[in-house]
Amino acid sequence: MITPEPDMQPRRRWHDLLPAMVLGMAAFLTQFDVTAVVVAMPAMAAELGFGGAAYAWVMDAYSLAFTGGLLAAGALADKYGRRRALLGGNAVFLVGSIICGFAAGGPILWAARAIQGLGAAFVITGGIALLASAYARPDERARAFAFMGVLSGIAMALGPTLGGLVSAWFGWRWIFLANIPLCLLALLAVPRLVAESRDPAGRPLDWSGVVLLTFALGIAIESLLTGGAMPARIAAGLGLSACLLAIFVMQQRRRPVPIFDPAVFIRPVMVGISSLLIAVSVGYWAVLVYLPPFLSAAFGWPGPSVGFAMLFATLPMLLLPPYGARLAKRWGWRRLFATAMLALLAGDLILVLAASGWLPNAQVVLAAAATGMLLTGIGAVLAHPQLSSAVVALVPPAQTGMASAVTVVMRQAGFALGIATLGAMLSDEGTPADYAWPWLVAAFGSAGGLIAASMLLPDHQP
């Protein structure tokens, strides 16, 4: 029998990882654009001349389209091919990036961000499905998903810093235009390295469910951002959104293969997990959007300095995930998630203190802001990766795919609503003290997560 040369083994490992690298690169772009844009948004607002509500829509247009796209992407990818879905999503994301790079006003930028979000939904859905089919052995699949997770963590952690540098050196438009060569590389590499897969017997596409949920979220976001000093308008918008959401739940109960199965998510433990998903989105991810303008207003920093300061909030997402997994096994869910929510709550409250104007000098404000950002990052990284594992462990195997997809939708919906809610509390003046109210709202969201973790989750993992 011929044995391979000693140096063949590393080459084989690299060759085996190529599909994961290519798919991870496609996912990297969609994650990078979420956080890299955050630091450049003040420059966008200044050049294109829009205020607080329009500022929030730069992120919410992406998140809303991403949420609606996720509901349709899985069924379409199963029917027409996962690779085709990823490549189509990548092309749509590329078109959206080009339009963003040349946008001449707010409405064009928001529309282009929605195109990006729609494309990203198909990239993520197709990429995850292709990764699962490309690696049949459990150990190989685990390594491939871990590799993809590391790339996503790098994108989320370094996005603000790199986005600040690109915006300062070349202008904010190049954050989007820099996607062009990488998207083209993915279009060339994926067909050569990743085989097509499909499941014609997969779940059918529920267009009415997609429309109902997307409109429910869109109306809630718009009413929060444009209601201003008119509580009746906000109440009417939120009431209409709640009615559409109720219709969506009733419609899902009648479907044989629902997008969202209410019977799974009405159990107390699943209510707790759902509450935590939304709490992390409001208490951390939405806060991340408003940290750059707060840091600029409080300290007068330019984009690159703000980007580096954001590492206090984002670097834990890259460095600490393995420790969260170990603590989940050692402590159990209730203690882990309660600790995570307590850190998140403490960080948000310290940010309230940093913005309040009560601290004696700029050095103390800076120390408080850095501490608050670090604590929110630690709290988010302890909870965020473990929530998906908790969902998979709590639902029957036949419903794992549906439940996992719903958790992603909840994260994105919570993120979009959190941005809108925090933005509704912020005045157009944007002084440092104005940010105390958004941080306080984020703290209430984190406190809700702490209560849910303490009361609704079991002491030990099932």
Note the pLDDT tens digit of each residue in 196-240: 887 776 677 888 888 999 999 999 998 988 866 678 888 899 999
Alpha-carbon span 406 to 74, nearest angstrom? 12
Structural contact between residues 245 and 213, judged by C-beta atoms closer than 8 angstroms: yes
**365: its two tokens:** 């404000």
pLDDT band at 442, cuts 50/70/90?
very high
Structural contact between residues 431 and 298, judged by C-beta atoms closer than 8 angstroms: no
Alpha-carbon span 416 to 107, nearest angstrom? 18
User: Mean pLDDT throughout 69-79?
Assistant: 83
- Pick the most confident of 256-260, 375-379, 412-416, 454-458: 375-379
Question: Out of 164-173, 278-287, 291-300, 314-323, which region has the weakest mean confidence (pLDDT)?
Answer: 314-323
Residue 190 scores a pLDDT above 50: yes
pLDDT band at 349, cuts 50/70/90?
very high
Q: What pLDDT, on a 0 to 100 scale, did the predictor assign at position 398? A: 66
261-304, pLDDT tens digit by residue? 887 788 888 899 889 999 999 999 999 999 999 999 999 998 88
Q: In angstroms, what CA-CA distances link 400 with 76, 219, 259, 387, 414?
A: 18, 30, 12, 13, 21
Q: What pLDDT, on a 0 to 100 scale, did the predictor assign at position 134? A: 75
106-163, pLDDT tens digit by residue? 889 999 999 999 999 998 888 877 877 777 777 777 677 777 777 777 887 888 888 8
Q: What pLDDT, on a 0 to 100 scale, did the predictor assign at position 229? A: 64
- Pick the most confident of 133-137, 169-173, 346-350: 346-350
pTM tops 0.75: yes
Q: What pLDDT, on a 0 to 100 scale, did the predictor assign at position 228? A: 65
Residue 1 scores a pLDDT above 50: no
Alpha-carbon span 137 to 269, nearest angstrom? 31
Q: What pLDDT, on a 0 to 100 scale, did the predictor assign at position 8? A: 43
Residue 10 scores a pLDDT above 60: no
User: Mean pLDDT throughout 28-39?
Assistant: 84
Structural contact between residues 161 and 310, judged by C-beta atoms closer than 8 angstroms: yes
Q: What pLDDT, on a 0 to 100 scale, did the predictor assign at position 13? A: 56
Q: What pLDDT, on a 0 to 100 scale, did the predictor assign at position 329? A: 81
Residue 369 scores a pLDDT above 50: yes
Q: What pLDDT, on a 0 to 100 scale, did the predictor assign at position 48? A: 85
Structural contact between residues 258 and 402, judged by C-beta atoms closer than 8 angstroms: yes
Question: Out of 8-12, 100-104, 425-429, which region has the weakest mean confidence (pLDDT)?
Answer: 8-12
Alpha-carbon span 408 to 391, nearest angstrom? 11
Q: Report the share of the chain in percent with pLDDT over 90.
A: 38
Q: What pLDDT, on a 0 to 100 scale, did the predictor assign at position 384? A: 82
Q: At a CB cut-off of 8 Å and minimum separation 6, what does 18 contact?
A: 193
Average pLDDT, the chain: 85
Question: Out of 100-109, 190-199, 218-227, 371-380, which region has the weakest mean confidence (pLDDT)?
Answer: 190-199
| Distance in angstroms between the alpha carbons of the first and the last residue of the chain | 47
User: Mean pLDDT throughout 151-180?
Assistant: 87
Indicate the SS3 state at residue 198. Answer: coil
